[in-house]
A and B are shown apart, each in its own frame.
Chain A
Amino acid sequence: MPYDAYEPVIGLEVHVQLDTESKIFSPDSTAFGADPNAQVDPVSLGHPGTLPVLNGRAVHHALRLGVATHAKISRRSVFARKHYFYPDLPKGYQISQYDTPICYDGYVEIEREDAPSSPDEEAGDDADPTRGASLKRVGLTRIHLEEDAGKSIHPEADAASLIDYNRCGVPLVEIVTEPDLRSPHEAYQFLEKLRQIVRYLQVSDGNMEEGSLRCDANVSVRPRGHSDFGTRTELKNLNSMRHVEDALAYEITRQIAARERGASVSQQTLLWDPDAGVTRPMRTKEEAHDYRYFPDPDLVPITVDEDRLDAVRASLPEMPDARRRRFIEDVGLPPYDAGVLTEEREVADYFEETLQQVFKRTKGGDTQAQAKAVSNHIMTDVLRVLNEDDRSVDDLPVTPERLAQLVYLRLQDRVSSSAGQEVFERMMEEPEKSAGKIADEYDLIQVSDRDAIESVVASVVDENEEKVRTYLDGKEGLLGFFIGQVMQRFDGSPNPKLVRELLNEHLERRRAEA
């Protein structure tokens, strides 16, 4: 099939639950996992006479997201009512934003898959120099604030449906992208990047499985080189990043196959069935909805002046791309390390705290090597433990200070690399003890006492005349044998570097004597 003759065009609509204590228009709690209908006051339930009052925190989060995605900010934006009847929508309308989204015209950068196919996709002038032209901008048409609806549950065995209104009124931002994505993988990357951004900003946990990040996708295909869009379909029920990628791949193949057959693609909404691995038309009737939007007279416009915007800008953390760049350019980490360490804000924070603690101890020297040493420990020990136990770095028993102690031991050569790993494991179990204490207790300190090592080295050389001759005749592979002998005879862990150095010294002395 001439799959490559077609170009997919993908746009996403992403809903992100904002992390606020209370709902967007009422004081109800938003905590996840409460009993059904335990977080509902008369406002959430749309009881007669109740009024919405805007949660300033939700606005602040939306503005932070807007600024972090290079979006323009509306100086004045209004809420509108979007009308439709559904049992999980208590007021018969959703409070949303219509013609004045709070943010618009932003972008997010992702890794480019292929060379740009048209000049308008070229990365801008301020593209990350550490990545060159390999970045692609995905345009954000708009970011708007709205309230979530309740959750309908339709138990199969039961004729009745159940509704949990706890989610009603949880603040959301809806992020609509331009149709800039050209492959399922790009969609995946975009979502990953977006999730990274909302997590860095701490505006959302971005958890797709718990529904705090939800994604619908619009997709069409067109013959490569054409600029008109094909007929698109909308994909729903994409409950993980993997689903998004799989559903898009399936749907693109389906659309191409249809076109190749000479059939047309009809504009419709499809549900992804992850078990069967297919998309199916939604069973509900596709009615052309007239939502009858109009400005909500219960709410006043959101106004954002320069002072407020300055405060928002000042509140932004260093974002992942900038941090990555700084780790490479200022800290001196290899690009790979910088990428891994900045993936999550907490890990990057952990790295920097540990590094500061190391600097306190080293008071100068080769800071680049010190950073690399910290990076090595985090990438091997810390991230391995986090992945195995599926936990966050914030829950790690080994504090940055403890890890710094360990790194310092390594930098001083007081523990070997394998002993270092053991010290880390022990610290996980006994977080109250310092790295040095653990190394002591478990006899993991390596001996760097030159005289002690030298006496053993001398006796090994003395006692193996024959092997020494063979070595000096050119069989240098025997060095390993000598090292092994020294290690065996030594009481404790001699510093292997020192052992090697002293052996060399002694053997060369013999050569000179010979």
Chain B
Amino acid sequence: MTHPTFAEAHRAIEEEETSCEALVSSFLETIDEKNDALNAFTAVDDEGALNHARYLDSQRERGNARPLSGLVLAVKDNICIRSFPVTCGSKMLEEFSSLYDATAIQRLREAGAVFIGKTNCDEFAMGSSNETSHFGPVKNPVAPDHVPGGSSGGSAAAVRAGMCHAALGSDTGGSVRQPAAFCGTVGLKPTYGRVSRYGLVAFASSLDCIGPMANSVEDAALLLETIAGADPNDATSADVDVPAYREALDGGVDGLRVGLPKEYFTEGLDPDIERMVRAQVETLSDAGATVKEVSLPHTEYGIATYYVLATAEASSNLARYDGIRYGFRADLQETKDDIRERRAELKKELSAARSNGNDERAADLRTELDEQQSVLDALYTRTRTQGFGDEVKRRIMLGTYALSAGYYDDYYEKAQRVRTLIRNDFDRAFEEVDVLVTPTTPTPAFCLGEKTDDPLEMYLNDVYTVTANLAGVPGLTVPIGTHPGDPPLPVGMQLLGRHFDESLLFRVGQVVEDQVADDERRAEPDRR
């Protein structure tokens, strides 16, 4: 398996060894060859991508090369590209196309990137295995009977399988980092507010982030550099300067203070993953970093807090999918017929109950008749029942409950307070250290179908990633090699930093990437 990077492609284009068109053609071939098996893409824009590539080549010949000319990107199917479908992995939006470019897309487009297609994902980004997609699960390119992780599973698989240089995903509780770790790619969840959310279909607005997924730290840095920055279309985007992230890559780790949060190395963590992470930390220490254990005491409340807040916001954000203006709508005639039939049935039963003198039953039936839904309400119910999958419905119900009168204080309000405590944990930790190192996931990729029957087990997979979203801090996952189990699966290590300090994460990530490459080179002769 080749792991194409844009950095390499850029060099090749500069030296006229290749062209944008050739790159796109080659990726299209790979997609053609692998996508049936992997199901990573929900839409591939062959013609559009080729045309765009040819245009970029012709511009280049005229001396108008764009900075990202030759970058071929896959985009998670919950990010809007004008006139592309944006299904969000849902039947609800199966036929829906966007009218506009997300801000991140617009910035990439201006920089010369080519969008080759939209990638499969968990429905409305709700899932950790890509199995909740209406369009079927994505397979892990490393081991096809394993999940690629989620929700940005299609993006991770596409990057890993060489179907594009890099991809955009979205991360609400780990949806970039976990699949990146499962597939063996680099993945970044930026600081909340670093990248505009305009055009990212909302799951949980206070947690959602668009993030890059790539085959190298350098490519991820380049992507962030392009998409980051304040946006007048997103009131929550931050007006904080965007540094030249790539220039920070070679800074090394000498003198850096690295923290190991003890709560991330406890029960439930795969021992091999722990060993591999600790080995990397050892190497960082050898490279001049000081390492110390720190504590993030409220970590254990992360999952509960996350699932209250994320589902509450989701229940609100997904209210717009009602079948009235766009997207899936249940059959109106069927809806009307059903109401009519049920009404006739109730009336028949009512008169029977009355003639039998069963007053109690008659009263119940009368009430049911009186409370029968209007056609409009029935259409809403039917549309949302048929248009959403089980996991989405589960979360809408959970979130609706958390926001209900009488429960709001106990759930939403309390979760907000815990969120503050978790943020404070990080603030305190970052007084002692510059970067935190943790495993990205407690286990490597699991088997397809392994956790689909147990939502709670599935949610626990996000235990190391949700806290960064709750605190708003950036998190970068970098591949650190292969798990010794069978099959040999990728393992990722997570680096967490201060708000808006992505530079430091890239710097440390580059050191780790180089270490891992060295390890692999050393290991290779043995295999021969």
Contacts and interface: CB of A to CB of B under 8 A. Distances in A.
Interface of A: 42, 45-54, 81, 83, 85, 87, 90-93, 290, 292-294, 297-300
Given A83-B316, A93-B319, A298-B235, A47 B99 contact: yes
B308 to A, nearest CB: 11
Interface of B: 78-80, 86, 88, 93, 96, 98-100, 102, 197-202, 204-206, 232-236, 312-313, 315-316, 318-320, 322, 324-326, 376-377, 380, 400, 403-405, 408, 412
A294 B308 CA distance: 13
Contact of B201 (A48, A87, A290, A292): A48
A297 B202 CA distance: 11
Contacts of B400: 292
A48 B316 contact: no
Contacts of B320: 46, 48, 90-92
Given A48-B98, A292-B403, A297-B313, A53 B235 contact: yes
B235 A81 contact: no
B235 A42 contact: no
A297 B319 contact: no
Given A47-B98, A49-B201, 20 more contacts: A42-B100, A47-B99, A47-B326, A48-B93, A48-B98, A48-B201, A49-B79, A49-B102, A50-B198, A50-B199, A53-B235, A83-B403, A87-B376, A90-B320, A91-B320, A92-B316, A93-B319, A292-B408, A297-B205, A297-B206
A13 B380 CA distance: 30
A290 B233 CA distance: 30
B325 A90 contact: yes
A88 to B, nearest CB: 9
Contact of A49 (B80, B312, B376): B80
Given A49-B102, A92-B322, A300 B235 contact: yes
Given A47-B99, A48-B201, A49-B98, A294 B403 contact: yes
Contacts of A51: 197-198, 233-236
Contacts of A91: 319-320
A344 B412 CA distance: 49
A293 B205 CA distance: 15
Given A49-B200, A50-B198, A300-B236, A294 B312 contact: yes
A50 B377 CA distance: 25
B86 A85 contact: no
A300 B234 CA distance: 10
A43 to B, nearest CB: 8
Contacts of B202: 48-49, 298
B46 to A, nearest CB: 25
11 contacts: A47-B99, A48-B98, A48-B202, A49-B200, A92-B316, A290-B405, A292-B403, A292-B405, A298-B202, A298-B236, A299-B235
A81 B412 CA distance: 14
A244 B29 CA distance: 71
Contacts of B315: 292
Contacts of A81: 316
B80 A48 contact: yes
Given A49-B86, A51-B233, A85-B319, A290 B380 contact: no
A371 to B, nearest CB: 51
A53 B234 CA distance: 7
B263 to A, nearest CB: 27
